[in-house]
Structure 1
């Protein structure tokens, strides 16, 4: 088994969750990504969110939101992604940046349009009443 260790920003507003779609991909992903050498979860989260959706996270509002594991989309049958999720307030206007082609607000009805690990987050958010 090959483990891909990532972090993600769970941004939920009005019963919808922020999702991103990279160029050349069909599935949406919760914003975030892999650590660079020596980065902490917080450093990775702040950098990835800035690169992908152009906003600054307010670091004093970052809170853990769970850790999820599932088959890694597009990385072969032996790859598993572990995604440490965090919530946080932000400042700035959301916009697609870097490799991101599309930013969208998703509901539970969009669950099947997301990566396998994100589907577990969608399930938890629906179960707690946060995702429409």
Structure 2
């Protein structure tokens, strides 16, 4: 049975485009977020990861769950399954790539092939709802 990688992601869409980030040393973009540490809740993981990656603070009272997706990723060891719990939320501060992020970009649906399989499921839902152009 493939390993399960449990992640939390921040869905930030502006002008029909979604914010994505490429970690230093990687050639793929991801929805910002990451793996929980220890017994962290989804909210705690979201707040920590977004602050670490994009130097902004998510406003906890504005956070809303938008969906949880699972997909196998053959590029990961043993074809691991990635579970991504997705949340929206307002933020304070200025978006900027941290030391661990090489590049930030705003993607449209046309950029879907540049993100991992689990992120593509989110792209599909956002496109279907008219949120992502």
Q: Normalising by the residue count of structure 1, what TM-score does the alignment of the two structures yield?
A: 0.96
Q: Matched residues in 2 for 1:27 and 1:70: separation?
A: 16
2:88 is matched with: 87
Contact 1:46 1:56 in 2 (8 A): yes
Q: Secondary structure at the match of 2:122?
A: helix
**Structure 1: gaps of 5 or more residues:** none
Q: How does 1:1-132 map to 2 (within 5 A)?
A: 1-72=2-73, 74-132=75-133
Q: Matched residues in 2 for 1:73 and 1:11: separation?
A: 26
**Structure 2: gaps of 5 or more residues:** none
Q: Runs ≥4 in structure 1, deviation > 4 angstroms? A: none
Q: Matched residues in 1 for 2:96 and 2:18: separation?
A: 15
Q: Give the RMSD, CA atoms, in angstroms.
A: 1.1
Q: Deviations over 1:64-102 (max 9, x none)?
A: 010001123642243100000000011111111142100
Q: Normalising by the residue count of structure 2, what TM-score does the alignment of the two structures yield?
A: 0.95
Q: Secondary structure at the match of 1:29?
A: coil
Q: CA deviation at 1:33?
A: 0.4
Q: Matched residues in 2 for 1:112 and 1:77: separation?
A: 21
